[in-house]
Amino acid sequence: MIFNIACIASGILLAMATLDKWDGDKDYFKKAGNFLIPYNTAIGGVLLALGIIHIIQPGCLIYDIIAIAGGLLLLMDIVGKAPAIGSLLVKASNALLPFKVAIGLTLLVIGVTNLLGLHLLC
């Protein structure tokens, strides 16, 4: 359940600009994104940690890889401070940056469908 909520929250944060265009004048996604921005680091950390934990367990590898990518994107400012592997994580985050919106929309779909009990890619 926490994984699904983290997927939805990170999906809104990563794809906020595109989602804001889709909802027109209502600004639902912009308001939700502005509410979630202070929790950006916590959401990214939870998503990255759960993605790594779940990748070890058998299950849906695609969900876990997308969650790890989303976590890295949300933690771009923090990962550079990690000792020994900080530069590698920054390079990975920068390589994922062009796919930020696609990863965000995918995480949003994964979170919503998992909450509904549907597993589309597994």
The pTM assigned to this predicted structure is 0.84
Q: Give the distance between the most distant pair of CA atoms in the chain.
A: 46
Residue 110 has a CB neighbour count (10 Å cut-off) of 25
Q: Is the pLDDT of residue 5 over 70?
A: yes
Asked whether the beta carbons of 53 and 63 are under 8 A apart, the reply is no
pLDDT tens per residue across span 15-59: 887 887 887 777 888 888 889 889 989 999 999 899 889 888 777
Question: DSSP assignment, residue 120?
Answer: S
With CA atoms as reference, report the closest residue to 78 among 112, 111, 43: 43
Locate the domains of the chain by residue range. 2-115
